[in-house]
Amino acid sequence: MSKNEDLVTAAHNIFPGAVNSPVRSFRSIGGTPVPLVRGEGAYVWDADGNRYIDFVGAFGPLITGHAHPKIVEAIQKAAADGTAFGAITPTEVELGRRICEATGMERVRFVNSGTEATMSAIRVARAATGREVVVKFDGNYHGHSDGLLAKAGSGVATLGMSASAGVPEAMAGRTAVLPYNNPAALEEWFKERGSETAAVIVEAVPGNMGVILPDSTFVETLQRLCKEHGALLISDEVITGFRLRYGLSDALPGADLYCLGKVIGGGMPIGAFGGRAELMNHLAPEGGVYQAGTLAGNPLVMAAGLAMLDILQETGVYARLEQVSSFLENGLRAAIKRAGVDACISREGSMLTVFFRKEPPRSMAEGQESDTAAFARFHRAMLDRGIMLAPSQFEACFVSTAHNEPEIDAAVNAAHEAMRAAAGNGS
Ligand SMILES: Cc1ncc(COP(=O)(O)O)c(C=O)c1O
C-alpha cells in the first residue's frame, strides 16, 4: 500500500469517516481523500510525494498561500515567548486594534472559530433585542452551533426544523430558514413575524453553497426590513472579511454585528465578532451575556494574524489577487466553451466556483440543479493532473497571493482536459 493509503486507512480506524471535519472526506464527490504532509506557497504535497497546485487554501484562511515565511517566523517567535497566558497580551490588543480600525467596529471579541463567532453574535443580538427568533438563508453556513443547524419549515413564515440528528426541534425551532436572494420571502416573513425577530444572519457573499452573488434588491430589502422592524443584521464575513478587501467586504454595509474568522488568523484557529460598543457591551463582564474561551486571543494565533494583516496591507495585494483570479476565471470559461459542457463560473474576488449548470445560480435551490456527477468527474480529472480543488460542488475555491501565472496556466491547461472528462469525453 502507498503511504497515502496507509494514512487514510489509519485515519478510518480513529476518526469517524476518517476526518475531523466532514467535507475533507471527499464523500460528496466519491474517491479517496488525499492526505497532505506539507505546503509551500501555492503548492501542497501528499504523503506519497505527489505535488498539487492548491485552490482549497485550507477552506479559506490561506490567502497568502502555505507557510508564508513572515507568518511562520511570527508564530515561531511568539511560541518562544510562551504559548498561552489566559491574560491580556500586547499581540491581542494590537490585532484587535487593527481589526477595529480596518472594519469600523467599536468593540471586538476574539474566539477560536467562526462557529463560536456567529453563535455568540446571535446571543448578543437576542439579549440586545429581547427577542428570540433568528432568520438565516437556505444554503448559507454559519458553523455548527445547534440553533444554526436548521432547515426550512413548510412555508415561508414558519420556523425551521432540525437539519442535523442530535439537534432538538426546540433549538432549530427558534431559527427560520428563508430562500436566498428572495426579497418577497423576506417581506412576507417580516410582515408576519418581524416583531419576534432578533436578528437576520447572512453570509456577506455566500461561499458555502458555492459562490453565489447577492442581488442588490435582496441586500437593500434586507437592510430596510431589519431597520424597520428593529431586528439586528449580522453579516457573516468569516470567509469574506480581509479576503475581498482589507477589512470588511463591501457586500453588506451597515450591518449591526460582523463575524470574522479564517484569514484574520493567518491559518491558525480563530474567530471574531464585533460591532458598536453599545451592543458588544452586553457581553460579560460588562453585561449579562456569558461568553468565554480558555485559548481565545491566543498569542500564537494573534501573532500569525498580525503577520497576515501586515502582508495584506502591502500595496497592490488585492488588485493583484483580482487580476490573477480573473485570469483563472477567463481560462476556465474558455475550457468550458471548448468542451461544450453546461458549466459556468461564479466568482467574487479571489473566491470562485465552477457550477455544472448553464447559468450561475442565485439560490441554493438553483445551485442544486447542478450536475454534481459532472463536477465529481471534473474534480477527479483535475486532481489526476495535480490541481487540488474544493471537494464539493457547493464550496468555493480560493486564489492566494502565491498563485502566479505559471500556476494559473497549469490549472487552465488541466481544465481543458478535465472539462472534456466532465462532459464524459475523456478521463
Ligand atoms: C461563512 C462561514 N461562517 C462560519 C463558518 C464556521 O467557521 P469555523 O469552521 O471556523 O467554525 C464558516 C466555515 O466554513 C463559514 O464559511
Residue ranges of the domains in the chain? 3-67+316-422, 69-312
Within a 10 A sphere around the Cβ of 80, how many other Cβ atoms? 8
400 in contact with ligand 1, CB cutoff 6 A: no
* CB 113 near ligand 1, within 6 Å: yes
Mean pLDDT confidence for 163-178:
94
Q: What is the mean pLDDT of residues 159-187?
A: 95
**Active-site choice (43, 141, 258, 318):** 141
Ligand 1 atom closest to the Cα of residue 206 is: 1
**Which residues lie closer than 8 Å to 321 by C-beta, 6 or more apart?**
63, 349, 350, 399, 400, 401
Strands (DSSP E) contained in 186-298 are 197-203, 232-236, 257-261, 271-275
Is any ligand 1 atom within 6 A of the Cβ of residue 238? yes
Q: Minimal CA–CA distance to 256: which of 293, 283, 281, 227?
A: 227
Pocket mutation for ligand 1, best pick of 141, 148, 237, 364 (most atoms within 8 Å of C-beta): 141
Has 262 been annotated as catalytic? yes
Active site residue 290: no
Q: Which atom of ligand 1 is closest in space to residue 240's alpha carbon? A: 1
How many angstroms does the Cα of residue 42 sit away from the middle of ligand 1? Answer: 22
φ/ψ region of 97 (left if φ > 0, alpha if ψ in -120 to 50, else beta) reads alpha
Which pLDDT does position 427 carry in this prediction? 63
Q: Closest residue (by CA) to atom 16 of ligand 1?
A: 239
Q: What pLDDT digit, counting tens, does each position of 300-347 carry?
A: 999 999 999 999 999 999 999 999 999 999 999 999 999 999 999 999
**359-392 burial, b for 16+ CB within 10 Å, e for fewer?**
ebbbbbebbeebbbebbbbbbbbbbebebbbbbb
Model confidence at 166: pLDDT above 90 = yes
Residues in CB range of 259: below 8 A, 6 or more apart: 114, 117, 118, 121, 142, 234, 235, 236, 237, 238, 271, 272, 273
For position 1, what pLDDT does the model report? 81
Residues whose CB is less than 8 angstroms from the CB of residue 49 and which lie 6 or more positions away in sequence, other chains included: none
* Whether CATH 3.40.640.10 fits 69-312: yes
pLDDT in tens, 224-272: 999 999 999 999 999 999 999 999 999 999 999 999 999 999 999 999 9
pLDDT digits (tens, 9 = 90+) for 4-38: 999 999 999 999 999 999 999 999 899 899 999 99
How far apart are the C-alpha atoms of 248 and 240, rounded to whole Å? 7
Rounded to the nearest integer, the mean pLDDT of the chain is 97
Q: How confident is the model at residue 106 (pLDDT cuts 50, 70, 90)?
A: very high
For residue 117, the cross-strand partners are none
Average pLDDT, integer, range 147-161: 89
Active-site annotation holds for 141? yes
Domain 3-67+316-422 has CATH 1.10.287.610: no
Contact 141, 118 (CB under 8 A): no
